[in-house]
Structure 1
Amino acid sequence: MAEHTLAVNIVTPDGIVFTRDGVKLAVIHTISGAIGVMANHQPIVSALKIDAIKVTFADSDDEFIAVNGGFAEFSNNTLTVVAESAETAKAIDVQRAESAKHRAEQHISHANEVHDPNELARAEVALARAVNRIKIVTRK
């Protein structure tokens, strides 16, 4: 690994989703806001929102990974993300994500009709996950 780069590892209960060295910048979305992490950044541990992680390389295109919650830890020039689930753009099935979005919108509508705050909360999380996955694939 070069002196001014870092390693990024994204893992879920199902295994490693993304692992790369030579990263110039990783942008993560914590519950407190976005953080850009570069080599030699101060150590951090933070909870993550449902959002994309942007990984920038010196010699290739940026990569985006859809991450659904979890936490990030950075130390010794390694960013480790442990997430409930995560997918690279190549792994996302857009039709499946669109269907999940549609189902979540229906559940939100139903939860509002019957005034069920628990169903509404679950449906809002499902919608955020589906929209995040769609955003990763359609990002330019």
Structure 2
Amino acid sequence: MAEGQNVLTVNIVTPSGIVYDHRASMVVVPAMAGQLGIMANHEPIITPLEIGELRVKRTDNPGHEDAIAINGGFMEVSHNIASIVADSAERARDIDIDRAQSAKQRAETAIKTASEKHDSNELVRAQIALQRAMNRINVKNHLL
């Protein structure tokens, strides 16, 4: 096989534009059914993604994994291209930990308020906001 056939192109796009575009030996995504690892020459697949850490093993630095916090979306793999369309995505190196901690505190306060008011819609929104904030914190600290 030619070298190009053992390489996977990984790109992540959000409504704000391209967040990530690199060649990789493997990508691991938080699929709805659990963690899903994709390597070159994988069969075509489309899968929904949930809030979580996406990891990329790049070909130009085999000992390093890029970590990206994503907040839902989907991934399509075809012809050695893994295209991820996410609601939002942030590389670990770009996450502002103070901002993420503030978002976590706001979400915790919103959960408490929604629980006291028995507002189930607001409670769900606050729980999702907390999950997103925790994901960003964990990816920044690479604890996932």
Same fold, TM-score > 0.5, yes or no: yes
Return the offset for 1:80.
0.4
* Unmatched runs of 5 consecutive residues or more in structure 1: none
* Distance in 2 of aligned mates of 1:112 and 1:25: 42
CA deviation vs aligned residue, 1:40-92 (integer Å, no higher than 9, x gap): 11111111000010101245211000000011100000000001110001211
Q: Which residue of 96, 106, 110 corresponds with 1:107?
A: 110
Aligned to 2:20: 18
2:104 pairs with 1:97: no
Aligned to 1:120: 123
Aligned to 1:75: 78
2:36 pairs with 1:35: yes
CA 1:132–1:11: 2 relative to 1, 3 Å: same
* Distance in 1 of aligned mates of 2:90 and 2:45: 23
The question of whether the paired residues in 1 share the 8 Å contact of 2:6 and 2:25 is answered with yes
Superposition RMSD in Å: 1.2
Please give the TM-score of this superposition, normalised by the length of structure 2.
0.92
Secondary structure of 1:3's match? helix
Aligned to 1:130: 133
Q: Which amino acid aligns with 2:17?
A: G
Q: How many residues align?
A: 139
* Unmatched runs of 5 consecutive residues or more in structure 2: none
CA deviation vs aligned residue, 1:13-59 (integer Å, no higher than 9, x gap): 100000001x1110011111111000011111111000010101245
* Distance in 2 of aligned mates of 1:62 and 1:111: 38
Please give the TM-score of this superposition, normalised by the length of structure 1.
0.95
Secondary structure of 1:97's match? helix
Q: Which amino acid aligns with 2:78?
A: S
* Distance in 2 of aligned mates of 1:139 and 1:34: 16
Structure 1 stretches of 4+ moved >6 Å: none
* Distance in 1 of aligned mates of 2:109 and 2:101: 12
